[in-house]
Amino acid sequence: MPVRRSRGTRRKQTQKTGTAQPRLKRGASIPIKTGAYKPPLRQGSYKDIGLSSKRVLISPNTKLYHVSTYEKLKAFTPARTCFSTNESQLMRGHVYMFETLKPIHGEQVDSTEIRLDLGEINPSAIHITYLGEIHGGNKFLVDNDGRTKHRFLSAKFAPKYKTLAKQIETNDREQWENAIKKYNYKIITKPRSN
């Protein structure tokens, strides 16, 4: 059954309830909610087997980032979840920022990854914001034979976080500067396909 759309809004019908759901906007606050949808574990993503971690205290005003590669999350389930401490290492997907308002505990796996059990954290201790999406842009790095070596990232974030989006794009470009100089790779722009 199609959903009637009003002018200027995008709504989609959920399969479970059949009711129209409002679109999640960049910059929106995200809750932690029991029963919230949890996407399936991504192939090659973290597994708890054999990893050593240490319990750490995370101070207030710390920013941590989570990327959902498949789907946009309207809420986080109270479960153990991975976060990056370094915005320059974010990958493609929907990006969420966790700001700590009070000290909280987490498990530090390495210098850039922290895991939080969202079921143990008081919701008043953190603020979660949906920043937007990182995707492959229309700029490609190609070798002398025209083979694609890398597709540069493009970040589309809420206006308040535009500086962060530009920094992510700049960091991605800087990581490939040596290859451009050393191998004489070229950057080309391909038109977007619909």
Q: Tell me what pLDDT residue 178 has.
A: 81
| Among 43-52, 79-88, 100-109, the least confident range | 43-52
Phi-psi region at 44: left, alpha or beta (left = phi > 0; alpha = psi -120 to 50): left
Nearest alpha carbon to residue 172 among 89, 112, 64: 89
Q: Residue 13 — very low, low, confident or very high, per pLDDT cuts 50/70/90?
A: very low
Mean pLDDT, the chain, as a whole number? 84
In tens, the pLDDT along 128-166 reads: 999 999 999 899 999 989 999 999 999 999 999 999 999
- Amino acid 84 reads S
Residue 50's pLDDT band (boundaries 50, 70, 90)? low
Domain coordinates in residue numbering, the chain: 24-35+51-133, 135-189
Asked if the model's pLDDT at residue 124 lies above 90, the reply is yes
Q: How far is CA 21 from CA 3, 16, 18, 98, in A?
A: 10, 11, 9, 24
- Please state the pTM of the whole predicted model: 0.80
For the chain, the first-to-last Cα distance in angstroms comes to 26
User: Is a pLDDT exceeding 70 seen at residue 35?
Assistant: yes
CA–CA dist 181, 178 (Å, integer): 5
